[in-house]
Amino acid sequence: METSPKFRGFQVVPLSGSLGAEIIGADLSAEITPELARDIAAAFRHFHILCFRDQALDLDTYRKVARLFGPFSGNPIHVALPGYPEFVRVVKEPQQDGPTFGGNWHTDLSWFEAPPKATMLYAEEVPPYGGDTMFANLHLAWERLSPTLRGMVAGLTGVHSGYGAYGVNAALKSVKVVDEGWEVSRAEVEHPLVPRHPETGREFLFVNPNVVRIKGMTEAESRPLLDMLMQAATRMDTTCRLAWRAGSLAVWDNRCLLHHAIGDYPNFRRVMVRTTIAGDRLPAAKINAAA
């Protein structure tokens, strides 16, 4: 990223040189002025993932903050909180074993016709150490590919399905899924492998485990290319790492980032409340791959 911009209503502490920032000094439970909302939106476009520290949010206040970023995307696979259909509580108990919710590099619900614009997580209870989340910048992943590879990949279409992710979630203890999710998640949806960001116009490499194949290729033919692009997308120098504290609220761009929850906190409890924000269909990039 170029030099960090300055904002009036809060301080910004970048999380790495590639993406992400902590936001210090903004109280989201107080009135959010149009100026503050504009600055938050500008910081979000610049850093792609923001973490607001030291927030005291009940679900009604969290809902108000979420609406700053847009309407709820819908979530057809997880059981929501009573009276709050947009929120899912993810609870990992101290002695709970098995896989971690979100414990791989992924994008949330990319198999929607219009993938969610953003995901938000609020930390209600966190372990004394561990339980961080990593993020990877898919703009940088695209820009750091060689011109020859960009030329090969530019016009391709990814076929996304949520079926595998639903299966993984159905086996978890920390979150509940709805039975109909098996059928809903089976749908296949096509997105450009290199879309333009709907708000900024900047290209990004839209790869994640929901991409089951490249359109026009078999799964076996697609796999090596998709695996190689995932490797490129998760190079250490495209990432940042967020260490949670109770009261941290993170919001990240779910299209142009991958994220990965690290399950390294056996014997500790961790409670997070998640919501997702509606996005737009992703337009294909107009690419001069040699540029």
Q: Residue 102 or 279: which CB sits closer to Fe ion?
A: 102
CA torsion, points 184, 91, 261, 64, in degrees to nearest 10? 80
Q: Which stretch binds Fe ion (CB under 5 A): 80-88, 95-103, 189-197, 203-211?
A: 95-103
∠284-241-159 over CA atoms, to 5°?
A: 30
Q: Are 91 and 271 in contact (CB under 8 A)?
A: yes
Q: How far is the CB of 172 from Fe ion (least distance, A)?
A: 12
What mask, x for binding Fe ion by CB under 5 A, covers residues 146 to 185?
----------------------------------------
Q: Which stretch binds Fe ion (CB under 5 A): 25-33, 74-82, 96-104, 221-229?
A: 96-104
Residue nearest to Fe ion (CB): 102
Q: How far is the CB of 269 from Fe ion (least distance, A)?
A: 19
Other Cβ atoms within 10 Å of 39 Cβ, number: 20
Q: How far is the CB of 211 from Fe ion (least distance, A)?
A: 15
Q: How far is the CB of 111 from Fe ion (least distance, A)?
A: 13
Q: Residue 9 or 103: which CB sits closer to Fe ion?
A: 103
Rounded to 5 degrees, φ, ψ at 214 are: -90, 135
Give CA–CA dist 12/1, Å, rounded.
Answer: 14
Q: Does 108 bind Fe ion (CB under 5 A)?
A: yes
Other Cβ atoms within 10 Å of 46 Cβ, number: 18
Q: Residue 47 or 101: which CB sits closer to Fe ion?
A: 101
Q: Residue 70 or 151: which CB sits closer to Fe ion?
A: 70
Q: Does 253 bind Fe ion (CB under 5 A)?
A: no
Give CA–CA dist 196/56, Å, rounded.
Answer: 36
Q: Mark 76-98 as b/e (b = at least 16 C-beta within 10 Å).
A: bbbebeeebebbbbbbbeeeeee
| Paired strand residues for 211 | 160
Q: How far, CA to CA in Å, does 118 sit from each of 86, 163, 249?
A: 13, 21, 13
70: left (phi over 0), alpha (psi -120 to 50) or beta: left
Q: Encoding tokens for residue 36?
A: 């503050």
Q: How far is the CB of 102 from Fe ion (least distance, A)?
A: 4
Q: For Fe ion, which residue of 102, 116, 192, 263 counts as binding (CB under 5 A)?
A: 102
Q: How far is the CB of 9 from Fe ion (least distance, A)?
A: 28
Q: Which stretch binds Fe ion (CB under 5 A): 41-49, 105-113, 209-217, 239-247?
A: 105-113
Number of residues forming the site for Fe ion (CB under 5 A): 2
Q: Residue 20 or 214: which CB sits closer to Fe ion?
A: 20
Q: How far is the CB of 220 from Fe ion (least distance, A)?
A: 27
Positions in the binding site for Fe ion (CB under 5 A) = 102, 108
